[in-house]
Amino acid sequence: MSKTILERRLFGPGPSNPYPEATSALGLPLLGHLDPEFIARMDNVCDGLRVLWGTKNSRTLPLSATGSAGMEAAFVNTINPGDVAVIAINGLFGERMCEVASRVGAEIVRVEHDYGTPIDAERVAAAHPNPKVIAGVHAETSTGVVSDIAALGAIKGDALLITDAVTSIGGMPVLADEWGIDVGYAGTQKCIGVAPGLAPFTISDRAFERRVAKPQSWYLDLGLLGGYATGSTGGKRTYHHTAPVAMVASLEAGLNRIQAEGLEAVTKRHQEAGKALQDGIQEMGLELFAAEGHRLPQLTTVKVPNGVDSAKVRSYLLNRFNIEIGGGVAQYADTVWRIGLMGPNANPASVALILASLKEAIDKA
């Protein structure tokens, strides 16, 4: 890179700026992936992830890839060709679930919702009498909407409930056991406040027992991964693939940071920052995109005002203030902005900075 770039403020849909502790940990001396010190670190990470997931699942681990690989792992391990998957779609990531599920041969029942609205559990329940899997996104980063996953858990019956918690985890309460989540996947680069590269994953015993015997993917075969990370096998670590040791160290530091502040305080900080931003945006005379009452605090969607060029505003923010925000997705690419306040960025100073810079960008871009 020829140009020196000052630190970007990553206020888009992710990656977000990591906690400084997580960045520093990337520089720790590298350990071998079977080193006892590393194994202790991995245990620590799995324990920390269980807290974030709100689960006692022994099979809770960071998969060595990004959130989308968590999505692949969820479907490839639960769906045999011809199995019925009812998928709630209220944004891009619900669409991606359909794409992934179709590749493992699922018979997909789509339950479509308007973008900007939450998942309607009653419609999901009515879509099919006995699906193998029901799937939905907790925090739709593409639209800024939170859905009630407990309501899906309540109607799932005998189905396995797959939940995307990529943007919710670490930023708002996720209670996998209480809500009835059987398979959950997430990412490190959003509210956990760590660089992209790992997919925190959890699967219940019930789902593990009903898993696909020989999934299409060797890398994401949870049967083989059992001995890689978790103590679930009760015995020796086995080599499956080389753990991304530096990323695991970074995740450990991020989780320790969250633990030190307290998970409740962290989610409250996200809640307050998001509310302040959304109030401020409306006071500027702009409109929010996500339906009222279902707005994510950590990801705010804003309607681009008429006559304003979305891309020009975004490049003004980037070039003048080193601030990144996101555009919209699909048919809303040019008419919606997505502003994230995730991890360390969820604070009042970020809110003030965004409001002032966005105002200048709209006036001058």
Ligand X SMILES: *Cc1c(COP(=O)(O)O)cnc(C)c1O
CB-based contacts of 290: which residues, under 8 Å, 6+ apart?
A: 116, 143, 144, 145, 296, 300, 301
- Contacting residue, 100, 166, 172, 361, with ligand X by CB under 6 A: 166
Q: Which residue is nearest to ligand X (CB)?
A: 67
| Number of neighbours of residue 95 by Cβ within 10 angstroms | 18
Q: Which is nearer to ligand X, 45 or 63 (CB)?
A: 63
For residue 21, the SS3 value is helix
- Near ligand X by CB under 6 A: residue from 88, 137, 355, 361: 137
Contact 338, 294 (CB under 8 A): no
Q: Which stretch binds ligand X (CB under 6 A): 31-39, 161-169, 220-228, 326-334?
A: 161-169
* 296 is an interface residue for ligand X by CB under 6 A: no
Does 164 bind ligand X (CB under 6 A)? Our answer is yes
* 196 touches ligand X by CB under 6 A: yes
By the rule CB under 6 A, 192 interacts with ligand X: no
Verify binding: residue 14, ligand X, rule CB under 6 A.
Answer: yes
Decide: 179 and 150 in contact? Cβ < 8 Å: yes
- In the structure, how many helices (H) and strands (E) does the chain have? 13, 14
**3-class secondary-structure state, position 183:** strand
338 is in an annotated binding site: yes
For residue 355, give both structure tokens: 């409001």
Q: Which 231-270 residues touch ligand X, going by CB under 6 A?
A: none
- Restricting to residues 48-107, which ones interact with ligand X according to CB under 6 A? 66-68, 93
Q: Which amino acid is at 208?
A: F
CB of 338 to ligand X, least distance (A): 10
Alpha-carbon distances of 42 from 36, 175, 198, rounded to whole Å? 10, 22, 13
In the complex, minimum distance from the CB of residue 186 to ligand X, in angstroms, rounded to a whole number: 8
Among 78, 90, 141, 350, binds ligand X (CB under 6 A): 141
Applying CB under 6 A, which residues contact ligand X?
14, 66-68, 93, 137, 141, 164, 166-167, 187, 196
